């Protein structure tokens, strides 16, 4: 589906696709290249050599194959994954000390953790895994890239269990839900279910911010 910001991300459009027996090689207008294994999620290994060459481009960002069983790839997802991977590699090099990274990398790591945990277990898993520092960083990053409703959803989530700070007993983050009422847990479920729609455009908005807005911002001493 086309997004208004696509027009400003034209450099990330697919220029051409070269397919051999091992991989689909995706070449973008900005010079980036990605090689996707034929036996990976594209499932090109199921196609004949002739069918593998029958690729079409949709909106300039999506490469797909016309034959049943084959997948598709979105250049924006490829670039977004690579951008986050770069920050995660720098986090690894820093001994997993998030505070050792610059603010940009911290925000990218927070967004990576948010997406990974949300899609694998939910927002409460995200909070339990990383605690308040990363939770707050994610809120800042969501606001920065233009997703204030998603940021508000995280604030609303925290508001459900914020009262537990006053409990005399030390409560493990993973045990939070067991301390909540049925109504409070229902509210968390409601926020969890609605969050996916709030971050559906996260990759394109994040790419626009980190690759376009940041690049245009003048350097300061």
Q: What confidence tier does 88 reach under pLDDT thresholds 50, 70, 90?
A: very high
pLDDT digits (tens, 9 = 90+) for 32-70: 999 999 999 999 999 999 999 999 998 899 999 988 778
Q: Which of 204, 207, 211, 209 is nearest to 1 (CA)?
A: 204
Q: Is the pLDDT of residue 182 over 60?
A: yes
pLDDT of residue 132: 95
Token pair 């960083």: residue = 137
Q: What percent of the chain has pLDDT over 70?
A: 97
Is the Cβ–Cβ distance between 155 and 139 less than 8 Å? yes
Give ∠ CA 31-7-220 in degrees, rounded to 5: 70
pLDDT of residue 152: 99
Bridge partners, residue 64, by sequence: 56, 72
Q: Is the pLDDT of residue 220 over 50?
A: no
Give ∠ CA 156-109-161 in degrees, rounded to 5: 20
CB within 8 Å of 189: residues ≥ 6 apart? none
pLDDT digits (tens, 9 = 90+) for 141-162: 999 999 999 999 999 999 999 9
Q: Which of 116, 13, 125 is nearest to 59 (CA)?
A: 13
Centroid of chain to Cα 75: 13
Bridge partners, residue 109, by sequence: none
CATH of segment(s) 4-74:
3.30.2020
């Amino acid at each position: 589906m086309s997004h208004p910001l696509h027009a400003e991300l034209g450099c990330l459009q697919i220029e051409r696709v070269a397919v051999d027996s091992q991989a689909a090689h995706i070449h973008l207008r900005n010079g980036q290249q990605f090689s996707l294994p034929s036996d990976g999620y594209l499932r090109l290994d199921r196609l004949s050599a002739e069918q593998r060459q029958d690729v079409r481009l949709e909106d300039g960002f999506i490469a797909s194959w016309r034959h049943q069983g084959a997948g598709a790839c979105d250049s924006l997802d490829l670039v977004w994954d690579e951008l986050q991977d770069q920050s995660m590699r720098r986090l690894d090099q820093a001994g997993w000390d998030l505070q050792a990274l610059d603010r940009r990398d911290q925000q990218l790591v927070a967004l990576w953790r948010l997406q990974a945990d949300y899609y694998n277990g939910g927002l409460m898993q995200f909070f339990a895994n990383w605690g308040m520092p990363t939770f707050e960083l994610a809120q800042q990053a969501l606001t920065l890239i233009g997703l204030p409703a998603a940021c508000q959803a995280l604030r609303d989530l925290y508001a459900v269990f914020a009262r537990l700070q006053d409990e005399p007993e030390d409560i493990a983050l993973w045990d939070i839900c067991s301390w909540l009422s049925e109504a409070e847990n229902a509210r968390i479920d409601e926020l969890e279910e609605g969050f996916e729609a709030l971050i559906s455009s996260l990759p394109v908005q994040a790419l626009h911010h980190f690759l376009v807005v940041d690049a245009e911002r003048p350097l300061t001493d």
